[in-house]
Amino acid sequence: MGTYTGLDAIERHGIDNQESVDRSGRARCVAIRQQYQLHKDRKQLIPEQEEDNRDLEAEYDMKMQQALDHYNKNIRSLKLDVNYNGNVLKAKKFKKKLLRRMKDLQNERHRNKAWLSLWYDRRASCYMNVLRKEWLECSYCSGYHFWGDEVSLKTKP
């Protein structure tokens, strides 16, 4: 059985595979209808993913701005007495805390981006699995290989 992963793979399905030599009649119609449905689902998923990515970036920017504001507030709270060594040590502590927070936010952003990408890839794979199940249960298509499996086999080196 072939494999299918990711939104980009949806584009590859439907290319040069609905007109297989051994596929004719109603099975071919089912393949074309399923490929049309897959492309329609993809057109719906892509904008949703882009919107979620924008929301994720906006949340990251907001958290980063909050960290910078907190750092600036802490620095302003220090007395500007040059001779007082405690302020220099506190300023270094505040800077170290800010750098640690920024690094944590960047790591969180990368984790969330990866998770979001995997989530959308799983959704796309679920769409494909529904189509595969429909194909296997369809009486017109019995005896024919699932068209998505044909594509995945063709794309392998």
pLDDT of residue 104: 96
φ and ψ at residue 5, rounded to 5 degrees: -145, 140
Q: Is residue 136 part of a domain?
A: yes
Provide the whole-model pTM: 0.65
118 Cβ contact list (under 8 Å, min separation 6): none
Q: Is residue 156 part of a domain?
A: no
Helices (H), the chain: 7-12, 25-77, 85-137, 147-155
Is residue 122 over pLDDT 60?
yes
Is residue 4 over pLDDT 50?
no
Q: Is residue 11 part of a domain?
A: yes
In which domain, by residue range, is 69 found?
7-150
| Beta-carbon count within 10 A of 129 CB | 12
Contact 14, 38 (CB under 8 A): yes
Q: Is residue 44 part of a domain?
A: yes
Q: Is residue 119 part of a domain?
A: yes
- Model confidence pLDDT, tens digit, residues 80-91: 655 666 778 888
CA atoms of 37 and 131, how far apart (whole Å):
9
CA atoms of 29 and 100, how far apart (whole Å):
58
Contact 35, 14 (CB under 8 A): yes
Q: What is the largest CA-CA distance in the chain?
A: 90
Of 23-27, 49-53, 116-120, give the lowest mean pLDDT range: 23-27
Q: Is residue 155 part of a domain?
A: no
- Strand, helix or coil for residue 146: coil
Query: Considering its fold, how many domains does the chain have in total?
Result: 1
146 Cβ contact list (under 8 Å, min separation 6): 1, 2, 132, 135, 136
- Model confidence pLDDT, tens digit, residues 43-73: 888 999 999 999 999 999 999 999 999 998 8
